[in-house]
Amino acid sequence: MASAQTAATPAAPAENGTTAALPRFTVPLDLLQAEVAKRFPLRYPVAGLVNLDLSAPHLGLLPEQNRMRAQMPVTAAGPALARTQQGSFTVDFGLRYEHSDRSLRAHQLKVYRFRFPGLPAEALDMLNTYAPALAEQALREVVLYQLQPRETAMADLLGLRPGRISVTEQGLLVELAIKSPS
């Protein structure tokens, strides 16, 4: 398994006596893509009429919004459809750190409508009724990356843990912050 690339070293006192910036590291987009792909495909039955099969999403970075985007390929098939249909939907999301399992997770989802070019409007409307719930099931709090103990060993010794997560053109920039007392 690949690991996050460390982009800085631990904080040290600056010449003027103040503390320099705390350390941080970058998790590149290709590593996030590989980790998320491990959790797919997923199947969701909808009202006994259709099965929606979700393939691994294509992740994108939205640095200007400090969010990420997932383009979700979907295959729809079942008794309600004359034939199997290929489509997609898009989800934007924020990021947070979950200390209990040392993971970077998607949260605050914004779901966009399904797109199925060959599907009749009434069938598409029915699917879009389920789009937000489907996205919640598939992506809410999905683990984008799980930090390994070896990646945080030095930070743990210094009393640091991941804090602010920023989306950059290269991936996720995770700043380490001083652990708050429990």
Give the global pTM: 0.80
86 CB-near residues (< 8 Å, 6+ apart): 73, 74, 75, 116, 118
pLDDT, tens digit, 9 for 90 and up, residues 36-81: 999 899 888 877 788 889 999 999 999 999 999 999 999 989 887 8
Q: What is the pLDDT of residues 88-146, one digit of tens each?
A: 999 999 999 998 899 999 999 998 888 888 888 887 887 788 777 777 777 766 889 99
For the chain, the distance separating the N- and C-terminal CA atoms, rounded to the nearest angstrom, is 32
Closest CA to 27 of 167, 176, 149: 167
Whether 43 and 76 have beta carbons less than 8 Å apart is answered as no
Identity of residue 71: Q
Contact (Cβ atoms closer than 8 angstroms) between residue 94 and residue 66: yes
Q: Please check the confidence at residue 35 and state whether its pLDDT lies above 60.
A: yes
* Contact between residue 106 and residue 141 where contact means Cβ atoms under 8 Å apart: yes
Give me 138's structure tokens: 């598939």
Mean pLDDT score of the chain, rounded to an integer?
A: 83
Rounded average pLDDT over 157-175: 92
The pLDDT, as a whole number, for residue 13 is 41
Residue 151: name the closest of 27, 11, 20, 12 by CA.
Answer: 27
- Only one residue has tokens 């939205």, namely 62
Rounded distance between C-alpha atoms, residue 130 and residue 2, angstroms: 36
pLDDT at 151: 78
Q: Is the pLDDT of residue 5 over 70?
A: no
